[in-house]
């Protein structure tokens, strides 16, 4: 029987988490670009776990570097179970974020195969509002439901300052776009500042790149493009979020949906989202 390598997190608020080895070392040759979400979901399932959320993956990255795990593992980014949901209501466009750890309720793990097939044909994964109602309710409950401003729609890009990349070549206190950004905190919660400090020495920019300018073509019809502005009725566009730790271009993104190439690992004992993960110091 092959040895299964597992990594125990010690960070306060994350001590319950255990991570598997990465696909970047064991399951695929990262020189070929990595794997896509359907394969990542299968990998996590075969390991007996689930994909990590963006927050959990960030916590692992910070601990991995501090404990020299990367000498064997390497960081190439992480395909997560965090999903972005875009929908239109009352003439306004909204973004909901959800990463429920139950495979039966998690949208990435439930729809990875379907989303992968559609995205490979340059077609978005569109679900009926009723199919994702629980995820939207959770996002609203946890303050992870956001109206996307018109500026974000026009650019089809929501980054750390809603328009462009966030420079991190200044002290966090002097350039707070990343740490105070609504979307960043909805993924990272109370570890946002720690993660910003973690990536700052290795890069001079970072971004939350959601609903990338990449246009979906509907089927094989040339010139027929799809964007979230074209969502109608109860349509909800669902994508999977990648946490990218690659030196020089870190970010939180759903650029290429279920076809984004990256690495993956399984996590065990995952819990529902909490903005405050660490115990309060009295």
Helix (H) or strand (E) holding 201: none
pLDDT for position 256: 76
**CA-CA distance, 207 to 223, in Å (whole number)?**
29
Q: What is the mean pLDDT of each run of 10 residues along the chain (282 residues)?
A: 70 93 60 80 95 95 80 69 93 92 97 94 91 97 87 39 41 57 87 82 66 48 59 90 73 83 92 82 48
* Conformation bin of residue 149: beta by default, left when phi > 0, alpha when psi is -120 to 50: beta
Backbone angles phi, psi at 53, to 5 degrees: -75, 170
pLDDT for position 154: 35
269: Cβ contacts below 8 Å, ≥ 6 apart: 16, 17, 18
Helix (H) or strand (E) holding 100: none
Residues β-bridged to residue 93: 88
pLDDT for position 1: 39
Sign of the alpha-carbon torsion through 100, 102, 105, 111: positive
254: Cβ contacts below 8 Å, ≥ 6 apart: 84, 209, 210, 211, 212, 239, 240, 241, 242, 260
Backbone angles phi, psi at 118, to 5 degrees: -70, -50
pLDDT for position 116: 94
HSE, side-chain direction, 13 A CA sphere, residue 97: 32
pLDDT for position 277: 85
Of the candidates 143, 160, 142, 148, the residue with the CA atom closest to the CA atom of residue 93: 148
3-class secondary structure, 166: strand
Q: Which residue in the block uniquely carries the two structure tokens 């994350």?
A: 14
What's the predicted TM-score (pTM) here? Answer: 0.86
Q: How many residues does the chain have?
A: 282
CB 79 within 8 A of CB 212: no
Radius of gyration of the chain from Cα atoms? 18
pLDDT for position 252: 85
Q: Domain spans of the chain?
A: 7-268
**CA-CA distance, 208 to 12, in Å (whole number)?**
25
- Alpha-carbon distances, residue 181 vs 74, 111, 133, 146, 236 (angstroms): 28, 29, 26, 12, 24
3-class secondary structure, 84: strand
């Amino acid at each position: 029987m092959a040895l299964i390598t597992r990594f125990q997190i010690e960070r306060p608020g994350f001590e319950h988490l255990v991570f598997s080895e990465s696909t970047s070392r064991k399951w695929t040759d990262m020189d070929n670009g990595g794997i896509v979400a359907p394969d990542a979901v299968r990998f996590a399932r075969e390991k007996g776990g689930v994909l990590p959320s963006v927050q959990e993956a960030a916590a692992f990255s910070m601990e991995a570097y501090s404990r020299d795990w990367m000498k064997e593992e390497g960081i190439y980014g992480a395909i997560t179970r965090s999903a972005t949901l875009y929908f239109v209501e009352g003439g306004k466009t909204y973004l909901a974020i959800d990463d429920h750890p139950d495979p039966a309720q998690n949208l990435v793990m439930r729809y990875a195969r379907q989303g992968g097939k559609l995205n490979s044909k340059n077609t978005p994964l569109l679900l009926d509002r009723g199919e994702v109602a629980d995820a939207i309710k959770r996002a609203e409950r946890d303050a992870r439901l956001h109206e996307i401003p018109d500026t974000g729609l026009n650019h089809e890009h929501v980054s750390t300052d809603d328009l462009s990349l966030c420079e991190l070549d200044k002290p966090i206190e002097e350039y707070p776009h990343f740490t105070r950004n609504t979307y960043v905190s909805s993924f990272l919660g109370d570890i946002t500042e720690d993660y910003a400090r973690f990536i700052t020495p290795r890069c001079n920019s970072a971004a939350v790149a959601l609903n990338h300018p990449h246009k979906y073509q509907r089927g094989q019809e040339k010139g027929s493009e799809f964007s979230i502005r074209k969502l109608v009725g109860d349509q909800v566009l669902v994508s999977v979020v990648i946490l990218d730790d690659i030196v020089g271009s870190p970010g939180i993104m759903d650029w290429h949906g279920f076809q984004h190439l990256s690495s993956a690992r399984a996590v065990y004992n995952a819990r529902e989202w909490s903005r405050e993960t660490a115990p309060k110091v009295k």
